[in-house]
């Protein structure tokens, strides 16, 4: 069985993670190196652990999170699909079971909002973990550009976290922002990503709440109530 530790020690994958971050630095993107993929790996695993998925499923989410961005070493465009193709032979040569490889590459290949969608619990956890990594530490040191909306939004986020309410079936993405940016600017660049997170949470049987400075800003609860009302109207109780 290929473990997370095996992946962390693999020199080929480590070289690709490093190269991906270098490529994105060269074209002016926020940090996508060991800090980002480490966060995504941990957050994806913890999300499924909180939802009481089997421990091997949790580990596959951690593995997918660690290597999800290696496609950036070639090009930012379609990096999820490229990365999935790149990691297949590496995982095969490491001895990972074919069914587990399929789970990991489908998650990696579907994590981009431009051309992906949640297709499994591992995929859904990867999406939420990846899209929730909005934070000032993603602004490259000494490179803050106040005219760049991505830098402004990320730098404004002083704290962020993902929490799971198993009783209420809610995955909550919360953050505190200062006035370096605004909620409107956050959604200008994160709207499609947050919509993808809502879809991912639904696959996991949960609602996805976005809480900014203590206020829930997407109100998924209203959607649940509307669906319940429609269902009740369509199936009236029999006398």
**What 8-state DSSP symbol labels residue 218?**
S
| Residue-range domain boundaries for the chain | 4-234
- The secondary element (H helix, E strand) that includes residue 176 is strand 170-177
Residue 236's pLDDT is 64
The CATH classification number of 4-234 equals 1.10.3210
Which residues, in sequence order, are CB contacts of 139 under 8 Å at separation 6+?
A: 30, 31, 151, 154, 155
- Hunting for tokens 């079936």 — which residue is that? 169
Residue 239's pLDDT is 44
Task: Tell me the C-alpha distance between 73 and 13, whole Å.
Answer: 11
Residue 237's pLDDT is 59
Residue 232's pLDDT is 78
Which residues, in sequence order, are CB contacts of 172 under 8 Å at separation 6+?
A: 162, 163, 164, 165, 208, 209, 211
Residue 159's pLDDT is 96
Overall pTM surpassing 0.85 (yes/no): yes
74-78 own/partner pairs: CB under 8 Å, 24+ apart: 74/23, 75/23, 76/23, 76/24, 76/27, 76/29, 78/112, 78/114, 78/115
Q: pLDDT tens track of the chain, all 239 residues?
A: 999 999 999 999 999 999 999 999 999 899 999 999 999 999 999 999 999 999 999 999 999 999 999 999 999 999 999 999 999 999 999 999 999 999 999 999 999 999 999 999 999 999 999 999 999 999 998 889 999 999 999 999 999 999 999 999 999 999 999 999 999 999 999 999 999 999 999 999 999 999 999 999 998 777 677 777 778 787 765 54
| Structure-token pair, residue 234 | 């369509």
């Amino acid at each position: 069985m290929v473990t997370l530790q095996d992946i962390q020690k693999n020199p080929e994958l480590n070289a690709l993670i490093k190269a991906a971050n270098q490529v994105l630095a060269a074209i002016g993107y926020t940090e996508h190196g060991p800090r980002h993929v480490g966060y995504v790996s941990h957050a994806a695993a913890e999300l499924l652990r909180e939802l009481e998925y089997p421990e091997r499923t949790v580990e596959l989410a951690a593995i997918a999170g660690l290597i999800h961005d290696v496609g950036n070493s070639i090009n930012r465009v379609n990096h999820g699909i490229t990365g999935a193709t790149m990691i297949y032979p590496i995982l095969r040569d490491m001895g990972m079971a074919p069914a587990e490889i399929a789970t990991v590459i489908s998650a990696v290949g579907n994590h981009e909002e431009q051309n992906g969608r949640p297709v499994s619990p591992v995929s859904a956890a990867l999406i939420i973990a990846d899209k929730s990594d909005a934070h000032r530490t993603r602004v490259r040191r000494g490179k803050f550009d106040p005219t760049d909306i991505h830098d402004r939004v990320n730098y404004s986020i002083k704290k962020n976290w993902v929490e799971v309410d198993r009783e209420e079936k809610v995955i909550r993405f919360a953050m505190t922002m200062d006035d370096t940016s605004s909620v409107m600017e956050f959604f200008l660049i994160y709207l499609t990503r947050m919509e993808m997170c809502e879809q991912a949470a639904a696959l996991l049987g949960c609602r996805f709440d976005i809480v900014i400075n203590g206020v829930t800003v997407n109100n998924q609860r209203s959607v649940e109530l509307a669906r319940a009302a429609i269902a009740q109207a369509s199936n009236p109780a029999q006398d």
